Structure 1
């Protein structure tokens, strides 16, 4: 890649400013011989292998992302020296496992170009997007901002919403292109019904989206740079909306609604300016919001696996006691569709964030893991949070909390216990459908005996598969012929030998149950009068339920 440049900027955003604006934990400054106050003109992907003629190569003021170059590679020193001769402000390389060698460090200290490394887990596309977004934001700030919304921390959408609300004299909602709420301004007055529904649901109601689409409102909004007005009607206050776009890409929209009083006279002009000023904020959100979420959730999962190195990155306080709560989403007794799972997990994560300062969450498939901080002497910090999981709409939730641990290295113990609780609740629902029709929650102490049984069955299962006997024969017959001998024996055992109670649970006549039990004894030798057979039947039937 041949890069032409000028003698570089005398002022403008500095490397330090860009590094302060991108997500923490993205880049590390290894050596900065001139400090990080050097001005930056642009950020580009750089392939050293494409350079042929150093006479025409200039990179003054550029940050070069050296794709494919690791600091420990033999080429690293040559790449750094070439960037230094070209006047680059900085060069970024992949850190790798070993880190930079002595020769590279010495070359960096003798030159003028800063050496940075990209941390593991960060892609070049994300680094490029983050640095360029920071560059755009810094240039806008250096130009004095736009209409009074400058000075905000990059990506502070809530601050942006409140600032724009002051400018237009109304209530502001910032949405993504799918009409999901990204931020909203503080509420000084009771919101109208549509704003209330949108904020509570964290998205515009689907019927309202259809209405706006079919009326042509969205088509107009997405195809103009100007403000679009929707007059007040009998139901809702007046709305103004402007699309936020970067080139041809729509990043989202800003909506203003009359908030207990008419909008300001210059509301249209203020909202038009806000649409331009919001570009770096929404661009940053799009680039880093998802990446930061993935990095944060990865750090939480690392903690749950026993690594304590990421505690600071997610706000976990060393020495403070925590308990782990696990919630798993179903729809009835069947796995829920993906959109239902995500909506329920969104609600659970919001409940956790509102429950207690310091709660952190991470998702994994249909599960949400929550680290709940405990007060001194508190043994069940997640009890209230567990109770709220019962009321989550649209899904069935099995949620369990593990015991409190005082050492972060013991978080896996609490996690495993919470996962066992979820399994216990799931097996209860499978075994007793009438009792398990809705969401179920419990702490480990409440199901300790059943959890211990699950642990034992996990150990026994491999041995059981290698054995044979009456119970094995009965289960194999049921699978092959669709018979219900095993179900009948399990019902009888669960009812402690009370034939009438077992028959009611199985929804059969007591004589039918007695017949099945007698045939199980005659055909397979499952004699429930024998304590050893009863034990084997209970173990085998519990394991049998695992594979259907």
Structure 2
């Protein structure tokens, strides 16, 4: 059995540096092993663990950073993380040197909750004592089903291991000795909603997550009133102050003191396995995301990234998937939006791997990208079918769209294919039409218009010429000349169709046309003038 893998600043930077953290000042190799994570609260100074890594939430001004560095130095902290961009003045750097505290920056776009979760995973992985066979407590690391059977044998009771959302992560044998509620839970890998609602109303979960001892749960009556139901013993599974899940044992007889102690010890072992599973999953996901991102960006590292993804030297199609923006007033919270994107990206990766085992997919920023190997001349058509099939499976639960890039036949073409997929995806998200999949040639003009609109916004351009005069006239007189012009242009000069669209008589519409030509000085017979007006109306 080997010793624990020590977690210092160097390892944290090696694991998280490319994604979440950057070293701003200090020597990570000279810092002692990290003793824990703490969040700075300016209104209530927390008790820091020895050699703490402190998250400086809300610290932005150099004076605040200098003052906090001084406090942390006196309390033996190893590092301070502040939100980038950081104003690293000479005073800040001197304060870091005097305190002996390394200064790190949290990458823009990353959240403090993401960082805290990743740091916990890395530190927990360092706490695991693993031998050459990667075992924990004599069981294969991360094998939750073997662990469930071992705990069941120890307690002489069938058990389930569940996460915070009451999803079943693993279950032991002997479930046929339980009741209808447990059978439904195991078969559906989720506690039925009726049971979880009753347990919530009874306050079971509140008591469970507050206590570090087993909680006895009285039987929940069957829905149809038939069949026997049995009591449960449940205990929360914790890693420090974080609740990872719970263990639920079906009881045929009262829980003795010895079995209660055994359940407490089992919860500690389950926590180690859950943290190892989560840490491994997070690391694998992050590594894959870094490889996919590097391949999509092109440059010197793209070939190596594609080689590690087993996608070098073969044609691939790039697919870009994103969730439609929420309508005004219905914005999801940041945490909810991140969760939806990650779940969608995981489902996308699973779908692509079923289509082609060497497909690679990862969430990069706000979009999930897929790299799919193709052969023959119908690569884009096949990608479109794959995308449509995935969105059909997702249904209307998540309003998502997919942009498809052209087939890339070399390393340099992957970055160009990603750009094309991004441009097509943006059109789909902006126009909110029924179409959910598009290739760039299908929406090329719309993509150009969006990019031109970006340029206009950056330059701060405003309407000019006839359109500007019509806007001023409408604002001063309450008229609808701009609306009339837009309707006429959209109807390709068909007065009857344009009038019907505005619910006015054709003669009234003709009068307005003559009036807007006079007020705006616009020659409606000139194709160049019509085009210029239409472009301004579209952009401005």
| TM-score above 0.5 | yes
Whether 1:231 aligns to 2:223 is: no
Whether 1:251 aligns to 2:244 is: yes
- Secondary structure of the 2:383 match is coil
Q: What residue in structure 2 maps to residue 419 of structure 1?
A: 422
Structure 1 residue 215 displacement after superposition:
0.8
Higher mean C-alpha deviation, range 506-515 or range 444-453: 506-515
| 8 Å Cα contact 1:397/1:439 also seen in 2 | no
- Secondary structure of the 1:361 match is strand
Structure 1 residue 469 displacement after superposition:
0.8
TM-score for the superposition, normalised by structure 2: 0.61
Structure 1 residue 505 displacement after superposition:
4.4
Distance 1:341 1:493, change over 3 A: farther
- Secondary structure of the 2:522 match is coil
Q: What residue in structure 2 maps to residue 44 of structure 1?
A: 33
Q: C-alpha distance in 1, partners of 2:415/2:274? A: 37
Q: What residue in structure 2 maps to residue 305 of structure 1?
A: 297
Distance 1:396 1:268, change over 3 A: same
1:431-461 CA-to-partner distances (Å, cap 9, x unmatched) read xxxxx3x573323243234334545665677
Q: C-alpha distance in 1, partners of 2:123/2:339? A: 32
Whether 1:362 aligns to 2:368 is: no
Q: C-alpha distance in 2, partners of 1:509/1:173? A: 71
Q: What residue in structure 2 maps to residue 524 of structure 1?
A: 520
1:488-507 CA-to-partner distances (Å, cap 9, x unmatched) read 32332222223343344455
Q: What residue in structure 1 maps to residue 485 of structure 2?
A: 489
Structure 1 residue 252 displacement after superposition:
2.6
Q: Among residues 409, 414, 426, which one is paired with 1:406 in the alignment? A: 409
Whether 1:133 aligns to 2:134 is: no
Q: What residue in structure 2 maps to residue 95 of structure 1?
A: none
Whether 1:373 aligns to 2:346 is: no
Whether 1:151 aligns to 2:143 is: no
Q: Among residues 331, 335, 356, which one is paired with 1:336 in the alignment? A: 331
| 8 Å Cα contact 1:386/1:400 also seen in 2 | no
- Secondary structure of the 2:128 match is helix
Structure 1 residue 474 displacement after superposition:
2.7
1:83-102 equivalent positions in 2, closer than 5 A? none
Whether 1:352 aligns to 2:348 is: yes
Q: C-alpha distance in 1, partners of 2:534/2:426? A: 18
Q: Which runs of 5+ in 2 are unaligned?
A: 18-31, 36-50, 55-78, 80-103, 354-358
| 8 Å Cα contact 1:323/1:414 also seen in 2 | yes
Q: What residue in structure 1 maps to residue 3 of structure 2?
A: 13
1:461-540 equivalent positions in 2, closer than 5 A? 465=461, 468-475=464-471, 484-506=480-502, 510=506, 513-540=509-536
Q: C-alpha distance in 1, partners of 2:479/2:248? A: 62
Structure 1 residue 280 displacement after superposition:
1.9
Distance 1:481 1:386, change over 3 A: farther
Q: What residue in structure 1 maps to residue 273 of structure 2?
A: 281
Q: What residue in structure 2 maps to residue 175 of structure 1?
A: 163
1:508-529 CA-to-partner distances (Å, cap 9, x unmatched) read 5555544443332222123432
Structure 1 residue 540 displacement after superposition:
0.7
Q: What residue in structure 2 maps to residue 218 of structure 1?
A: 205
Distance 1:336 1:298, change over 3 A: farther
| 8 Å Cα contact 1:174/1:182 also seen in 2 | yes
Q: What residue in structure 1 maps to residue 148 of structure 2?
A: 164
- Secondary structure of the 2:406 match is coil
Whether 1:322 aligns to 2:312 is: no
1:194-251 CA-to-partner distances (Å, cap 9, x unmatched) read 667775xxx986x866543331101331214226445353249866532112455433
Structure 1 residue 336 displacement after superposition:
3.4
| 8 Å Cα contact 1:326/1:415 also seen in 2 | no
Q: C-alpha distance in 2, partners of 1:412/1:234? A: 58
- Secondary structure of the 1:465 match is coil
Q: What residue in structure 2 maps to residue 241 of structure 1?
A: 234
Q: Size of the alignment, in residue pairs?
A: 429
Whether 1:450 aligns to 2:471 is: no
- Secondary structure of the 1:233 match is coil
Distance 1:171 1:278, change over 3 A: closer
- Secondary structure of the 1:519 match is helix
- Secondary structure of the 1:138 match is coil
1:166-221 CA-to-partner distances (Å, cap 9, x unmatched) read 76486745313xx275845699999966667775xxx986x866543331101331
- Secondary structure of the 2:442 match is helix
Structure 1 residue 419 displacement after superposition:
2.4
Q: C-alpha distance in 1, partners of 2:404/2:205? A: 45
Distance 1:497 1:131, change over 3 A: closer
RMSD (Å) for aligned C-alpha atoms:
5.4
Distance 1:446 1:393, change over 3 A: same
Whether 1:396 aligns to 2:387 is: no
Structure 1 residue 327 displacement after superposition:
1.8
Q: C-alpha distance in 2, partners of 1:375/1:126? A: 37
| 8 Å Cα contact 1:324/1:418 also seen in 2 | yes
Q: C-alpha distance in 1, partners of 2:172/2:525? A: 70
1:165-204 equivalent positions in 2, closer than 5 A? 168=152, 172-176=160-164, 179=165, 181=167, 183-184=169-170
Q: C-alpha distance in 2, partners of 1:256/1:509? A: 76
